[in-house]
């Protein structure tokens, strides 16, 4: 099962993508995570991506398309995958389609996690990320056992630069301009399904399971 997650930054698509990956035993491929890992490791790609990410802008298409096309061609993706944060522009979507068509496959579902902007701004200011392992939490919805400390590795939690309110507003503007057109794109392709992302995390996942099946 090949799935694309759509939705504004902070809509909860990353959380749902992880739940889907666990439930259906397919890899979770997050381009944001890939960039953050590259930044942490000080790679050339990381250096290039960081300046865009810190400003709330999208990393240029040419830095992300090949990376994803190569990733989905790996062996662990034979039974499918869930793409989280890609595609984010129409050129990325067409590049992915072309790469998949060459292999005689295609995306099964574009799953849109729908949340209004005002909920997003409220939610994102509560997000926290681990400085070390990148695990994400929320001070209200996904609290850690000890405040400010990662459950997984015991490191400090921070509010990421790209989750700060001024950056969030900019990311939402970028989303509406560059990513939202994908909703129409996948709707025309007949594979768009939407869920109400304002519900509780597990209720959203239950709605997703109804769509994807057992
Ligand atoms: P995310 O964790 O998915 O919200 O991504 C964090 C940041 O990484 C975004 O705000 C972008 O700067 C960058 N990014 C992630 N995925 C993409 C993509 N497909 N295209 C361009 N930039 C991306």
Residues 160-180 have pLDDT tens digits of 887 888 888 989 999 999 999
Question: pTM of the predicted model, to two decimals?
Answer: 0.88
Give the structural domain span for 48: 2-115+169-212
Is 127 known to be catalytic?
yes
Residue 29: count other Cβ atoms within 10 Å of its Cβ: 23
| Total number of domains constituting the chain | 1
* Dihedrals phi, psi of 195, to nearest 5 degrees: -125, 155
Separation between Cα atoms, residue 48 and residue 38, nearest integer Å? 10
Q: Which residues are paired to 127 by β-bridges?
A: 138
What secondary structure does DSSP assign to 52-84, as a single string?
Answer: HHHTTPPPPHHHHHHHHHHHHTSGGGTT-EEEE
pLDDT at 1: 95
Separation between Cα atoms, residue 214 and residue 203, nearest integer Å? 16
The residue assigned the tokens 């490791």 is: 41
Ligand 1 pocket check for 162: Cβ under 6 Å: yes
Within-domain flag for 30: yes
Average pLDDT over residues 125-131: 92
Within-domain flag for 132: no
Task: From 20, 1, 11, 57, select the one nearest 199 (Cα to Cα).
Answer: 11
Residues 116-126 have pLDDT tens digits of 998 998 888 89
Q: Which residues are paired to 30 by β-bridges?
A: 84
Contact 178, 88 (CB under 8 A): yes
Residue 48: give its domain's CATH number. 3.40.50.300
Contact 110, 191 (CB under 8 A): yes
Is 171 known to be catalytic?
yes
Q: Which residues are paired to 111 by β-bridges?
A: 5, 193
Within-domain flag for 136: no
Within-domain flag for 127: no
Within-domain flag for 62: yes
Q: Which is the catalytic residue, given 2, 36, 88, 128?
A: 88
Contact 162, 156 (CB under 8 A): no
> How far does the centroid of ligand 1 lie from the alpha carbon of residue 170, in Å?
13
Task: From 95, 26, 46, select the one nearest 66 (Cα to Cα).
Answer: 95
SS3 content of the chain, % helix, strand, coil (to 5): 50, 15, 35
Alpha-carbon separation of residue 112 from 116, 190, 194, 204, 205 (angstroms): 12, 13, 5, 11, 12
Residues 6-30 have pLDDT tens digits of 999 889 999 999 999 999 999 999 9
Within-domain flag for 6: yes
Within-domain flag for 41: yes
pLDDT at 124: 85
Is 164 known to be catalytic?
no
Q: Which is the catalytic residue, given 2, 36, 127, 128?
A: 127
Q: Which is the catalytic residue, given 2, 36, 123, 171?
A: 171
HSE (CB half, 13 Å, CA atoms) of 158?
9
For the cut 80, the answer to whether the pLDDT of residue 214 exceeds it is: no
Contact 144, 137 (CB under 8 A): yes
Ligand 1 pocket check for 163: Cβ under 6 Å: no
> In this structure, what token pair is assigned to residue 172?
């939402």
């Amino acid at each position: 099962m090949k799935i694309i997650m759509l939705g504004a930054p902070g809509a909860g698509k990353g959380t749902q993508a992880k739940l889907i990956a666990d439930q259906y035993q397919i890899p979770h491929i997050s381009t944001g995570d890939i960039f953050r890992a590259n930044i942490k490791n000080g790679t050339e790609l990381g250096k290039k991506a960081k300046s865009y990410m810190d400003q709330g802008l999208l990393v240029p298409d040419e830095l992300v398309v090949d990376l994803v096309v190569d990733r989905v061609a790996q062996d662990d993706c034979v039974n499918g995958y869930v793409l989280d944060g890609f595609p984010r522009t129409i050129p990325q979507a067409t590049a992915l389609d072309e790469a998949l068509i060459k292999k005689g496959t295609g995306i099964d579902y574009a799953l849109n996690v729908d949340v209004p902007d005002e909920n997003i701004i409220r939610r994102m200011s509560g997000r926290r990320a681990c400085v070390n392992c990148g695990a994400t939490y929320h001070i209200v919805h996904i609290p850690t056992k000890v405040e400010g400390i990662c459950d997984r590795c015991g490191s400090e939690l921070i509010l990421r630069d790209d989750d700060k309110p001024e950056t969030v507003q900019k990311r939402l503007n970028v989303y509406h301009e560059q990513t939202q057109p994908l909703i129409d794109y996948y709707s025309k392709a007949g594979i768009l399904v939407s869920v109400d992302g304002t519900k509780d995390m597990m209720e959203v996942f239950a709605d997703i399971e109804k769509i994807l099946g057992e």
